[in-house]
Amino acid sequence: MSQLLKKNKNLIYPGFLWFLFFFMLPLVIILIYAFIDNFLRPGTPVNFTFENFLIIFQRKHYLLLLGRSIRISLITTFFSIAFAYPIAYFLAKKTKYDKILIVALMIPFWVNYLIRTFAWKLIISENGIVNKILLGLNVTDVPLRILYTEFAVILGLIYTNTPMMILPLYATISRIDNSLLEAALDLGASRTRAFFDIIFRLSLTGIFAGTILVFIPVLGSFAIPAILGGTNSMMIGNIIENQFIEVGNWNFGSAFTLALALISLAMIFIYSKLFGLKSIYKNQGL
């Protein structure tokens, strides 16, 4: 490459410096905060400590909350796979209108999730549509309490995140050549067997990519539990918000934030070892 074109490399710097300064450096500061016992301020002495992490494991309240967050995230991920898979399969293999339908899916996906969450609040509230129907059919005498429960939170999370799962699944399934399925049938496999041996097995990449794209944001969500959930369905995000906005314990809040960051980094790392990072963004349909 000519000397002149080596200048292209310099184009990296503005963006990269921005990234270092406004993304990496803040993370480093959080890292520091998690291991000290006071604010980073001129004139304030600080000590190194593990106390902030120990509190998470010492207080039952926080352990419960951590467990609940992971449980809610797992359930949400599982159901979004279950709901999304047939759709992705249909779009990829059973229709020629897939491009249009994907657009139809993309539009609600791009509608702000707070608005979509708001809609669910209307639907499941005590005098919402669901309760109106149930009362009307005499299934129940008193309106069901759905809003402000863990169930409501999961409902909202599944609803807002399922489209995230469809895109990577659709991308991987549509890349599977139909002749592979035909070959399996030709060699004597039943339809069901051939589906699991070939389509499902080869779409695992998409399932994992979708899992990354759903599990991580769900684990870090705080708006949906704040709107649809009650005090018994708070998640990590709500605790973190609480620590920074109301309590003002930055050290403990940073420890929780760091834990969240580490869980997601670990997942991203495992995924990239298994399939390569490229397949995550390749499958997002950008």
- What is the smallest separation between the CB atom of 212 and another protein, expressed in angstroms? 7
The verdict on 127 binding another protein (CB under 8 A) reads: yes
Query: Residue 44 or residue 60: which is nearer to another protein going by CB?
Result: 44
Binding mask 191-210 for another protein (x = CB under 8 A): --x---xx--xx--------
Least separation in angstroms between residue 148's CB and another protein is 12
State yes or no: residue 80 binds another protein (CB under 8 A). Answer: no
Binding region for another protein (CB under 8 A) out of 50-58, 62-70, 142-150, 220-228: 220-228
Q: Does 159 bind another protein (CB under 8 A)?
A: yes
Cβ-Cβ contacts under 8 Å for 37 (sequence gap 6 or more): 46, 47, 49, 51, 52, 251
Strands (E), 27-150: none
**Minimum distance from residue 129 beta carbon to another protein (Å):** 7
236 vs 258: CA distance, rounded Å: 11
Instruction: Quote the CA–CA distance of 146 and 152 in Å, as a whole number.
Output: 6
* Smallest distance from another protein to CB 34, Å: 10
Contact 214, 161 (CB under 8 A): yes
Which of positions 100-119 make contact with another protein (CB under 8 A)?
101, 103-108, 110-119
Only one of the segments 49-57, 61-69, 74-82, 265-273 lies at the binding site for another protein (rule: CB under 8 A); that segment is 265-273
Binding of residue 82 to another protein (CB under 8 A): no
**What's the farthest any 2 CA atoms get from each other in the chain?**
80
Residue 247 near another protein by CB under 8 A: no
From candidates 54, 122, 139, 274, binder to another protein by CB under 8 A = 122
User: Does 86 sit near another protein (CB under 8 A)?
Assistant: yes
Tell me phi and psi for residue 48, to 5 degrees: -75, 140
274 binds another protein (CB under 8 A): no
Euclidean distance between CA atoms 272 and 285, whole angstroms:
18
- Exposed e or buried b per residue across 110-143, where buried means at least 16 C-beta atoms within 10 angstroms of its C-beta: eeebeebbeebbebbbeebebbeebeeeeeeeeb
Measured over the CA atoms of residue 250, residue 255, residue 256 and residue 261, the dihedral's sign is: positive
| Structural tokens at position 250 | 């930055």
Phi/psi of residue 36, each to 5°? Answer: -125, 175
Least CB distance from residue 64 to another protein, whole Å?
19
Stretch that binds another protein, among 33-41, 52-60, 61-69, 140-148 (CB under 8 A): 33-41
137 near another protein, rule: CB under 8 A: no
